[in-house]
Amino acid sequence: MISQKIEDTIAAGARLAKKLKRGDVVALIGELGAGKTVFTKGIAGGLGVKDARYVNSPTFVIIKEYKGRLPLYHFDLYRLDESSVIDAENFEEYFYGDGVSVIEWADKARGLLPKKYFEVKLSVAGENKRKIEIKKRP
């Protein structure tokens, strides 16, 4: 799909959220400014997170937790390299837990992802346009 504006990207995240259940993992892949955090705001809204518009990237704390109909575990691995990702957190506790895990820069932790997950690739397609590809893996 092509998102023409921020609201379209948020709506795409909210649509995906309606399909998510406990233990689901959403792997976000895309360059800086591609819309990963904006998409996550949509997921948060779709999960019923109060004040989802305030969801922001947890770059310096690595993970933020939000309460909704399901807990949302929002990871950002931007500042970590692959070896420090493995040492940084006990990801499995979240990935196989009671909530939904959304991972920005998930390509840095492919080896830690569960066998089944949603892969969302976001890319810049113009000044305000974003290309969004959603696949269920495997």
Write out pLDDT tens, residues 54-80.
Answer: 999 887 788 899 999 999 999 998 887
36-46 helix and 6-17 helix, angle to the nearest 10 degrees? 50
**CATH number of the domain that residue 121 is part of:** 3.40.50.300
Q: Which domain holds residue 9?
A: 2-137
SS3 for the chain is CEECCHHHHHHHHHHHHCCCCCCCEEEEECCCCCCHHHHHHHHHHHCCCCCHHHCCCCCCCCEEEECCCCCEEEEECCCCCHHHHHHHCCHHHHHCCCCEEEEECHHHHHHHCCCCEEEEEEEECCCCCEEEEEEEEC
What pLDDT, on a 0 to 100 scale, did the predictor assign at position 45? 97
* pLDDT tens digits, 95-109: 888 999 999 999 988
> In the chain, how many domains are there?
1
